[in-house]
Structure 1
Amino acid sequence: MKDNLKKKVVVSYDVPEDKRRTKIHKILKSYGQWVQYSVFECQLTETQYAKLRSRLHKLIKPDTDSIRFYFLCACCFDKIERIGGEQPRDETIFFA
């Protein structure tokens, strides 16, 4: 894949520790759109994805934390449908 092509990725995470979860949220926020409390939608180049994955991998505790990457084709990404619910607000106190 050429680096200028962007992958459509949904990233979800389950991290029980508040401090680590907040750090993960901040990292993901710099790469994509926060759509639910532990879910981001991202459009990443190959280089951006590699850097994001590396940063997250260094931060997590594999025995207790989980981060999942769901790759979507452009057609599927464009067909994402949302019903109800408010858009998340970035209230850092929620994650502290």
Structure 2
Amino acid sequence: MNVVVSYDISEDKRRTKIHSILKSYGQWVQYSVFECQLTDTQYAKLRSRLNKLIKPDTDSIRFYFMCACCFGKIERIGGEAVRDDSIFFADGADG
């Protein structure tokens, strides 16, 4: 599944922990926004880990689910290059 995760965390220490967790699940694309491609199991684990850290009365995390077609149509101007998670295997023909 394709998920855009945004967060608004009031405390620096918690915000750093949230950011660190999200870095292991997706690509950091803006200050408090990540793009993630997750399995159902990965999503459940991510949500559980984040839920244990936040203070619901002051913090907010949002998950925006996007179909593959819409996720592929994301446009951007500037910023860091998109990370390519594809795996390519050489067939040995070039070398």
Residue 80 of structure 2 is matched in structure 1 by 87
Please tell me the residue identity of whatever aligns with 2:5.
V
Shift of 1:87: 2.2
Q: In 2, Cα distance between the equivalents of 1:28 and 1:8?
A: 14
**Aligned counterpart, 2:19:** 25
Normalised to the residue count of structure 2, the TM-score between the two structures is 0.83
Query: Any runs of at least 4 consecutive aligned residues in structure 1 with deviations exceeding 3 A, and if so which?
Result: none
Cα RMSD between the aligned structures?
A: 1.2
SS at match of 1:64: coil
**For residue 76 of structure 1, what is the amino acid of its counterpart?**
C
Query: What TM-score comes out, normalization by structure 1 length?
Result: 0.82
Q: Which amino acid aligns with 2:39?
A: T
Which structure is larger by alpha-carbon Rg, 1 or 2?
Answer: 2
Identity %: 85
CA distance in 2: counterparts of 1:25 and 1:56, whole angstroms: 10
Aligned length: 81
Contact 1:36–1:87 (CA under 8 A) maintained in structure 2: no
In the TM superposition, residue 83 of structure 1 has moved relative to its aligned partner by 1.8
Deviations 1:7-48 (A, max 9, x none): 000000000100000000000000000000100000000000
Of 62, 73, 84, the residue aligned with 1:68 is 62
CA distance in 2, matches of 1:82, 1:56: 27
Q: Distance in 2 between matches of 1:58 and 1:20?
A: 11
Q: Which runs of 5+ in 2 are unaligned?
A: 82-95
User: Does residue 44 in structure 1 map to residue 56 in structure 2?
Assistant: no
